[in-house]
Amino acid sequence: MQHGKYRFILGFLAIPLALYAVFVIWPFVQSIYYSFTDWTGLSPDFQMVGFDNYTKMFEDDIFWKSLWHSVLLALLLPLVTLGLALFFAFMINVGGRRRRGAAIQGVRGSGFYKIAYFVPQVLSIAIVAILFQFAFDPAQGMINGLLRSAGVEGDSLPNWLGDPQLALWCIVAVLVWCTVGFFVVLFSAGMASIPRDFYEAALLDGASRITTFFRITLPLLWDTVQSGWVYMGILALGAEAFAVVHIMSVGPGGPDYATTVLPLYVYQAAFRDGQAAYATTIGVALLVVTLAFAAVVMRVGRRERLEF
């Protein structure tokens, strides 16, 4: 009977596992294999070169700049995005004034706020990047236009995407703006499922709203927050950051490689420089960084599961 059960389960899993192996696992294996070759991506001919590509990568200053920018995004972006999303979601669901005899209420118009926060998530990331590229334009952009109306003129106006000290922070601001709404809605759904009796009992005991957030809301939402942290880290290390940097930044990746991230450097090495093998080597490094980030977050964020 048990043997038949396992054969039945295996019958359902065989095709999905085969597809996963072909379309997910096999490309990883190929990338690792090509990283030990001199393949240009333009010719089927290549030779094995051992660890030459890895030696080149460790001696490449641009790689280290790209790695630092990607790690910075992976650390900073989840912190800012999830922090803002938790604050907005808490205010929407719990932060309103007491009315009609109810101790716990969301702010007025909370339904509208959820829609307003979620609208950027509906837009294509390419459209968002193009819009902000125009907004950050030093001559005709909206942001410098507002600064001019406030009395800032001439050399005091920032060249947002042309300044190495400001360009990466502009990228971070755009990524936060276009992703925070998703987590506001996600955390709002989680907070709506928390019994209001918990909050009312805490308020009767004299707890403030800040105390209820850290003692009730955050512990009960921790699994969702942890998953969101991993998701945001992968987003910062992956396609979302690549799209914004590639469209918005000077070069792209500039000025002076100030906004180059690992996914963009992989793209440039493969399609601009014709060094496909070196690009796969950087891709392997990106894979290791992503797996390490996810493992650290899951390890550090591990705590006893709370149920209600």
The domain containing residue 277 runs over which residues? 61-300
In a domain, 26, yes or no: no
Residue of 183, 182, 289 whose CA lies nearest to 236: 289
> pLDDT tens digits for 196-243?
788 778 777 777 778 888 888 888 888 888 888 988 988 889 888 999
Alpha helix segments (H runs only) across 59-195: 61-93, 110-122, 125-135, 142-149, 167-192
pLDDT at 155: 74
In a domain, 197, yes or no: yes
pLDDT at 99: 54
Are 106 and 204 contacting, i.e. CB atoms less than 8 angstroms apart?
no
Read off the pLDDT of each residue in 190-201 and give the average, rounded to a whole number: 80
Local structure of residue 164 (DSSP, 8 states)? T
pLDDT at 35: 92
CA distance 298 to 226: 7
More confident residue, 155 or 126: 126
Read off the pLDDT of each residue in 294-306 and give the average, rounded to a whole number: 77
In a domain, 84, yes or no: yes
Statement: residue 95 has pLDDT above 70: no
> pLDDT tens digits for 25-34?
998 899 999 9
In a domain, 4, yes or no: no
pLDDT at 62: 94
What three-state secondary structure class fits 95? strand
pLDDT at 96: 58
Tokens of 74: 């992976």
pLDDT at 8: 73
Query: Which CATH number belongs to the domain containing residue 107 in this structure?
Result: 1.10.3720.10
Which band of pLDDT confidence, cut at 50, 70 and 90, is reported for residue 37?
A: very high
More confident residue, 93 or 144: 144
Which band of pLDDT confidence, cut at 50, 70 and 90, is reported for residue 151?
A: confident
Torsion of CA 205, 210, 216, 217, to 10 degrees: 150
pLDDT at 115: 83
In a domain, 29, yes or no: no
pLDDT at 60: 93
Burial class (CB in 10 A: 0-12, 13-18, 19+), 125: buried
Statement: residue 105 has pLDDT above 90: no
pLDDT at 42: 81
CA distance 171 to 240: 11
In a domain, 32, yes or no: no
Q: Is the peptide bond before 252 cis (omega within 30 degrees of 0)?
A: yes
pLDDT at 306: 59
CA distance 266 to 281: 9
CA distance 118 to 111: 11
pLDDT at 1: 47
Out of 87-96, 165-174, 298-307, pick the least confident: 298-307
In a domain, 234, yes or no: yes
Local structure of residue 123 (DSSP, 8 states)? S
> Percent of the chain, pLDDT > 90?
39
Instruction: Please give the radius of gyration of the chain, using alpha carbons only, rounded to the nearest integer.
Output: 24
In the chain, the number of structural domains is: 1
Are 40 and 275 contacting, i.e. CB atoms less than 8 angstroms apart?
yes
Statement: residue 21 has pLDDT above 60: yes
In a domain, 12, yes or no: no
CA distance 293 to 100: 47
With left for phi above 0 and alpha for psi between -120 and 50, is residue 249 left, alpha or beta? beta
Which band of pLDDT confidence, cut at 50, 70 and 90, is reported for residue 97?
A: low
CA dihedral (82, 88, 89, 91) positive or negative: positive
